[in-house]
Amino acid sequence: ATHHPKWSATPVEDGGRPLLACGLAEGSLALVQGCIGEEDTVAVLEQTEARGHLYLSVDWNDRRESRVDKKVVVSEASGEVAVWSLAQDRMELLQRWDAHQLCGCPSEVWIAAFNAFDDNVALSGADDACLKIWDLRQAGEGGAAVMIPRQHDAGVTTLCWCPTEEHLFVSGSYDEHIRLWDIRSPRQPITSCHVNGGVWRLKWHSTRPLLASASMHRGATVVSTAESSLKVLHEYQDHDSMAYGIDWCPGGTSTSIASCSFYDHALHFWEVPDAGGALAGGC
């Protein structure tokens, strides 16, 4: 089973086909080449050896721009985080380290993400309620996290870097809060907001100060991040089950959203209403 897929922003050179990295439930990473026409077919380019535990999230280092030196960071149920390189669309393990523990046992790492502006830095969040910031130039040798802000009251489930402001990122948690951080001063968040449901996924709009949240039993939430604040603008509660996935539909300034719920296998497409011009501006 595919637990977490994510598209690369850099297409394969041969024919311009898109690349998809998939973290699999068996504990392997699959690199899949997508199709670009009706006559085309999907192909698995490579798949790593299964490790016997869930791969919980993946993230590429090319979220802002195309990269030749593509990398993928993976979070694992074993408490580990791993970084893979892709050269000529072949995967090579660069580093893997023990990242999170709870009461002396490995803690599921729900999320790992690159700094969108500097792929020497990665974030991880886990069931131990810790958010950690890693300098990848040290982590492979067993170096400690750069900083461990202890501000969450439950497991850290999602992390997302602002696409337009290089120092800002957000975290989501089972504690039903979204927190906005400045990596230059990570001891405590800039601000937070309560969304009345566990935050499983966060997606920042590519050009607008808007954050979409899959807020589990509360449905989906749209939050304004204008002027480094967090303010709930809209709640979408038409899902009949817990919302676990969400993303903005492509198109630059589009405010259309796709959200999905787990137990009823439902995918919803909907539009964010403009609350008096609140959707304009930058982060």
On whether residue 28 sits in a domain, the answer given is no
Predicted TM-score of the model (pTM): 0.90
DSSP 71: E
CA distance 165 to 240: 35
CB of 25 closer than 8 Å to CB of 39: no
Q: Which class for 65: exposed (0-12), middle (13-18), buried (19 or more C-beta within 10 A)?
A: exposed
Q: How many domains does the chain have?
A: 1
| CA angle (132, 169, 223) in 5-degree steps | 130
At residue 276, the pLDDT reads 47
Determine which helix (DSSP H) or strand (DSSP E) holds 137, and give its type and residue range: helix 136-139
DSSP 226: G
pLDDT in tens, 180-189: 999 999 999 9
Q: Which of 270, 249, 235 is nearest to 203 (CA)?
A: 249
pLDDT in tens, 157-177: 999 999 999 999 999 999 999
On whether residue 27 sits in a domain, the answer given is no
Q: Tell me, what amino acid is at 229?
A: S
User: What is the mean predicted confidence (pLDDT) over 32-48?
Assistant: 82
The position carrying tokens 């589990």 is 216
CA distance 3 to 109: 13
The CA-atom distances, in angstroms, between 165 and each of 117, 183, 226, 227, 234 are: 9, 11, 11, 11, 23
On whether residue 121 sits in a domain, the answer given is yes
pLDDT in tens, 226-266: 999 999 999 999 999 999 999 998 776 789 999 999 899 99
3-state secondary structure (DSSP) of residue 152: coil
Range of the domain at 198: 53-271
On whether residue 34 sits in a domain, the answer given is no
pLDDT band at 200 (very low <50, low <70, confident <90, very high): very high
On whether residue 255 sits in a domain, the answer given is yes
CA distance 120 to 134: 8
Question: Is residue 79 over pLDDT 80?
Answer: yes
pLDDT band at 63 (very low <50, low <70, confident <90, very high): confident
On whether residue 279 sits in a domain, the answer given is no
On whether residue 235 sits in a domain, the answer given is yes
DSSP 117: T
On whether residue 6 sits in a domain, the answer given is no
